[in-house]
Structure 1
């Protein structure tokens, strides 16, 4: 059984956690409307805390119009108390039936952990397109 001191320490640690709400908007999908999007978007806080936001194979592509949000597997994550930054990595492609597939996004965006009530957005580009990652801290 935990002592009172141990319980208080745990409470302090969890009360320092911040929640991050993540959204990803398609800005340009190779000029297509809609784009047939597949690939991977993941995030992490430091080493060893990676999580998946989007993971679709080529045969599982989804239609997304420019300006629309890409549906994520999850959009809220609890930021560990010791974390100082959130890294979002994206590798997204546009499926094409008759021609080679086109790279929409390939890279990462790094966000410094901020206080609740603030937000930040950053682009991730690819050879033929781009996305915008938005993080709201709460």
Structure 2
């Protein structure tokens, strides 16, 4: 059984972790309004802490208008104490009925972990579109 001192030390260590609130905005979905978005957005802190933010197959596409946020499975993650950067990877497509699907985003954005209250945003582009990843540290 842990002593009171051990429990307090664990609590302090956990409360030192920073939280990241992530949002992803569609900037251009192949010029379509709305775009029929599917694909994957994931994140990671190093190699041991990976998570999924968005995962839709072609048949599960969702309509997103330019300037709107893509609905994520989760938008808040606890940053591990040892983490120095957050990497967001996106592969998003626009579903088209009569023509081949178009790549909206294919790449990654790397964010340095910052203090609570700070924020940052970076684009991820594809052949026919782009998204903007926003991170607010808290």
Sort the TM-score into its range (normalised by shorter chain): over 0.9
TM-score normalised by length of structure 1: 0.97
Moved >4 Å (runs of 4+): none
In 1, Cα distance between the equivalents of 2:11 and 2:62? Answer: 42
Q: CA deviation at 1:51?
A: 0.5
Q: CA deviation at 1:3?
A: 2.3
> How many pairs are equivalent?
138
In 1, Cα distance between the equivalents of 2:11 and 2:84? Answer: 20
In 1, Cα distance between the equivalents of 2:22 and 2:75? Answer: 5
| More moved, 96-105 vs 10-19 | 10-19
- Unaligned stretches of 5+ in structure 1? none
Q: CA deviation at 1:33?
A: 0.5
Q: CA deviation at 1:62?
A: 0.3
* Post-superposition CA distance 1:7-54 (Å, at most 9, x none): 232122112101110000000000001000000000011112110000
TM-score normalised by length of structure 2: 0.97
The alignment's C-alpha RMSD in Å is 0.8
- Match of 2:49, SS? coil
- Unaligned stretches of 5+ in structure 2? none
In 2, Cα distance between the equivalents of 1:71 and 1:129? Answer: 18
* Post-superposition CA distance 1:40-86 (Å, at most 9, x none): 00001111211000000000000000000000000011111111111
